[in-house]
Amino acid sequence: MSAKIISGTEVATQIRVELKKEVDEMKEKHGVVPGLVTILVGSNPASISYVTGKQKTAHELGFYSHQDDQPADVSEADLLKLVDKYNKDPKVHGILVQLPLPKHIDEKKVLNAIDPDKDVDGFHPINVGRLMIGGDEAKFLPCTPAGIQELIVRSGYETSGAEVVVVGRSNIVGKPIANIMLQKGKGANSTVTIVHTGTKDLEAHCKRADILIVAAGVPGLVKPQWIKPGSCVIDVGVNRVGEKLSEKTGKMIPILKGDVDFDAAKEIAGAITPVPGGVGPMTITMLMKNTVKSAKIHAGIK
Ligand code: NAD
């Protein structure tokens, strides 16, 4: 039987509807408007497209949103001053510095300068530590891993006691999603294994996964025979494998493939995310969710 296709596009839309309601209520009852600032240095086309998407969504949800464009040659000191300005601005509850930054700027220094209580990307070491401690301590979960958890929970898979295998140990996907799934509590409480380039038998680990999360960045790494029948497969990989002509625009667009052989895997798994349209659409939505959470915390709204 063919797997249920977990549509990130649909789940993201559903969460945005919930968020819009929450934002409207916050405005009406408490006069609080969530505020998000995105800082873009230079004019990298991919970065422009990412921040534009974030600003557009923030605007649609009724946030106070502002994009701060800085020239590619802005000094590190000036960028740090800018971050400090938004750290102190009470209208702003979330600060996002779009990466990558130009080579003359120390990325770590800039990210670490963001007030951890406005770090809606969840990458500040304090928030990484808070996630590790778990429970009420965890303030802002990093957006892609938080989106992965939502997809699993909303597709009805039992996570408590489930064998979760995560392929990849990056700081932005692998490690945080493993940390999220092992916490005690709803939507987690799983037995988690992380596999990576140093793992001896990738196949054996993947085969026993009730929930398999793949974030390696290697197209087709996970073979269909590695998938446990009926399991939930979350493919985080986004790999450009070529180009094709778009019928809509008449322009060349990238052909994207995941880390899992989707067509064959969907005949074995119980549920699977497509690429594109799976994890991808969730990331911006979870950034908005973190910003709403931050605004509530700052305003003392329960
Ligand atoms: P990364 O390169 O930082 O980390 C990849 C991890 O996979 C590493 O820990 C490595 O050990 C492991 N790995 C690589 N090849 C392997 C192999 N052959 N066997 C076992 N392990 C292997 O990548 P990342 O930033 O974590 O991103 C992973 C993928 O997810 C990429 O394709 C990226 O584009 C995608 N991604 C998507 C989103 C989104 O959809 N919103 C967000 C982040 C990343």
> Would you call 8 helix, strand, or coil by DSSP?
helix
Q: 143-283: which CATH topology?
A: Rossmann fold (3.40.50)
Q: Reply yes or no on whether the pLDDT at 1 is more than 80.
A: no
Helical spans, DSSP H, in 2-75: 8-30, 45-60
**Residue 79 in contact with residue 110, Cβ under 8 Å?**
yes
Q: What are phi and psi of 22, to 5 degrees?
A: -65, -40
Whether the pLDDT of residue 239 is over 80: the answer is yes
Q: Which of 54, 118, 228, 289 is catalytic?
A: 54
Q: Is 121 in the active site? A: yes
Catalytic residue at 98? yes
Give me ligand 1 centre to Cα 34, in Å.
Answer: 32
Q: Which helix (H) or strand (E) holds 294?
A: helix 280-299
Active site residue 251: no
Residue 87 pLDDT grade (very low, low, confident, very high; cuts 50, 70, 90): very high
- DSSP designation for 128: H
pLDDT at 150 over 90: yes
Domain with CATH 3.40.50.720 in the chain: 143-283
Confidence of residue 284 (pLDDT cuts 50, 70, 90): very high
Architecture of domain 29-118: 3-Layer(aba) Sandwich (3.40)
The mean pLDDT value of the chain amounts to 97
Which atom, in ligand 1's list, is nearest to the CA of 236? 30
pLDDT at 136 (0 to 100):
87
For residues 212 and 251, is the Cβ–Cβ distance under 8 A? no
